[in-house]
Structure formats: C-alpha cells, structure tokens
C-alpha cells in the first residue's frame, strides 16, 4: 500500500519527490540524534540493572517520538519558507503545490523512512541464528511486525496532514493530539509479544487519524460515497 501511494500520487511529480526525500532525511536525522543520546545513556549506566535498562529503553522511545515531532515542525517551517520562494518566482503569483499537498508528501516521506528502518531490523532478525517461537513465543512475529510497519507508515502520513494543518491555523491542540497519538502507538509496542495490545489500538488510532485528516483536507461523506460507488 505504501508503495502504491508513492507510485500513484508522488512519483510523477519531481517537486513532490524532492519534498518526500527531504522529509525522509528529516526523519532520519531525528532517529540518529535520538539513537545517539540513548546509546550514551546506556553506556553510562549499569548494564546489570535490568529495571534501569528497561527505563532507559522507555525513555529512548518516548524521546525519539518527541524528537521526530520536533523535526516535523522544523520541516513545516522549512516548507513554509519554500512556498514563499515559489510564489515569488512564479509568474502568476501562485505556488505550484499547496501546503496540504506538502503535508501529505512530507508525511509519506516520514512514514516510508520509518517503515524502511523497521523492515531492515526485521530482515536482520530473519537472518538468524535461531528459529522464531522455538522457546514457546509467538510464531507470528514477522507477520505482526509487517502489519505494524504498515500502520506506522499510514499514521505518519495522516499525522503529517494533521500536524501541518495545526501549524498553519495555529491550532496547537491538533499538534498536541498528533504527539499524544504518536506516544500512544509507540508505547503500545511495549505490550509485545502480546501483539493484540499493540496492533488493535494502533489500527483504531489509524482509522481515527485517517478520518480526521480526510475531513481537514476538505473531504465529505458525499465525496467518499461517490468514490466507493465509482461515480463522478
């Protein structure tokens, strides 16, 4: 599905590809910074203290989420400046791409890079050694990880739309909602290997975020009905 979003909505527009790559880069930088801080914290702590190590892991995840959203805000500021430059250079005084379209493409960029790193970690585990579930754990690790990766890609896309809309209209509660949802989804992964505890809430939040983003983008129930019935 994520590849389909790229092919059908982004791949044919060079400007959208640039925005997507830049968004992926911003997410990557946020991950590198949060990983560096977590690595330093782990090295400076006692590795034999299991409760401390678990606390550092939780801290690392939460800090990474906050840093990702901070970089999303910085990217919004950068794109806002870019729009002003495009308007100044255009002959008709209009930008070739709207802030809503930028929000969508930037969200896809964040999501694709997030999904790529999730798949890299998953494939690294798949190389072995060992067999999944050999000690009685769930054998659905790879399947559930794939579903979790997919939902995170879509969530980043919807979060991008909501976040940019909140910044554009100074609705700080929308930005707060995005951060809270991101923290909730990331925190739910600590229920694993009880995968129901992470997948079900994540998909429910994805449905809510998708509906919210659809309405903010100008969608309506009538338009959705026409789309489902293939009516023009």
Q: Whole-prediction pTM value?
A: 0.88
pLDDT at 131: 61
Task: Indicate if the pLDDT at residue 158 is higher than 70.
Answer: yes
In this prediction, residue 104 carries a pLDDT of 92
Q: What is the pLDDT of residues 37-90, one digit of tens each?
A: 888 888 887 777 778 878 888 888 899 999 999 999 999 999 888 887 777 666
Q: Identify the DSSP state of 48.
A: T
The length of the chain, given as a count of residues = 232
Q: Per-residue confidence at 145, pLDDT binned at 50, 70, 90?
A: confident
Q: What is the pLDDT of residue 33?
A: 92
Q: Establish whether the linkage from the previous residue to 193 is cis, with ω within 30° of 0.
A: yes
Res 134 pLDDT > 60? no
Mark residue 137 as left, alpha or beta (left: phi above 0; alpha: psi -120 to 50; beta: remaining): beta
**Which is higher by pLDDT, 96 or 158?**
158
Q: What is the pLDDT of residue 25?
A: 93
User: At residue 213, does pLDDT exceed 80?
Assistant: yes
Helix, coil or strand: residue 145 = helix
Domain count of the fold of the chain: 1
Confidence of residue 92 (pLDDT cuts 50, 70, 90): low
> Is the bond leading into 129 cis (omega within 30 degrees of zero)?
yes
The pLDDT value given to residue 52: 81
| Rounded average pLDDT over 8-16 | 87
Q: What is the pLDDT of residues 160-200, one digit of tens each?
A: 999 999 998 888 999 999 999 999 999 888 887 777 888 99
Torsion sign across C-alpha atoms 155, 156, 160, 166? positive
Nearest of 162, 163, 209 to residue 185 by alpha carbon: 209
SS3 for 164-203, per residue? Answer: HHHHHCCCHHHHHHHHHHHHHHHHHHHHCCCCHHHHHHHH
Q: What is the mean pLDDT of the chain?
A: 85
Pick from 98, 82, 79: nearest CA to 13? 98
Q: State the residue range of the domain holding 145.
A: 1-229
Top pLDDT among 94 and 137 is at 94
Q: What percent of the chain has pLDDT over 90?
A: 39
Report the pLDDT value the prediction gives residue 163, as an integer from 0 to 100. Answer: 94
The string of DSSP codes covering 115-134 is HHHHHHHHHHHHT-SS-TTT
What does DSSP assign to residue 78?
Answer: H
């Amino acid at each position: 599905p994520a590849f389909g979003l790229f092919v059908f909505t982004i791949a044919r527009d060079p400007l959208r590809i640039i925005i997507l790559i830049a968004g992926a880069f911003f997410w990557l930088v946020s991950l590198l910074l949060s990983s560096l801080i977590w690595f330093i914290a782990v090295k400076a702590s006692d590795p034999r203290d299991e409760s401390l190590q678990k606390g550092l892991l939780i801290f690392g995840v939460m800090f990474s989420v906050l840093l990702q959203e901070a970089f999303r805000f910085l990217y919004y500021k950068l794109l806002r400046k870019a729009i002003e430059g495009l308007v100044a250079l255009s002959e008709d005084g209009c930008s070739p791409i709207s802030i809503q379209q930028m929000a969508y493409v930037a969200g896809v960029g964040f999501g694709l890079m997030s999904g790529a790193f999730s798949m890299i970690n998953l494939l690294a585990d798949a190389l072995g050694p060992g067999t999944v579930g050999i000690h009685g754990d769930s054998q659905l690790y790879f399947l559930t990880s794939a579903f979790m990766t997919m939902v995170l890609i879509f969530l980043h896309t919807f979060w991008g739309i909501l976040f940019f809309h909140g910044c554009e209209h100074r609705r700080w509660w929308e930005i707060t909602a995005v951060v809270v949802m991101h923290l909730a989804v990331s925190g739910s992964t600590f229920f694993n290997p009880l995968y129901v505890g992470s997948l079900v809430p994540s998909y429910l939040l994805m449905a809510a975020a998708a509906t919210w983003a659809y309405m903010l983008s100008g969608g309506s129930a009538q338009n959705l009905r026409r789309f489902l019935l293939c009516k023009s």
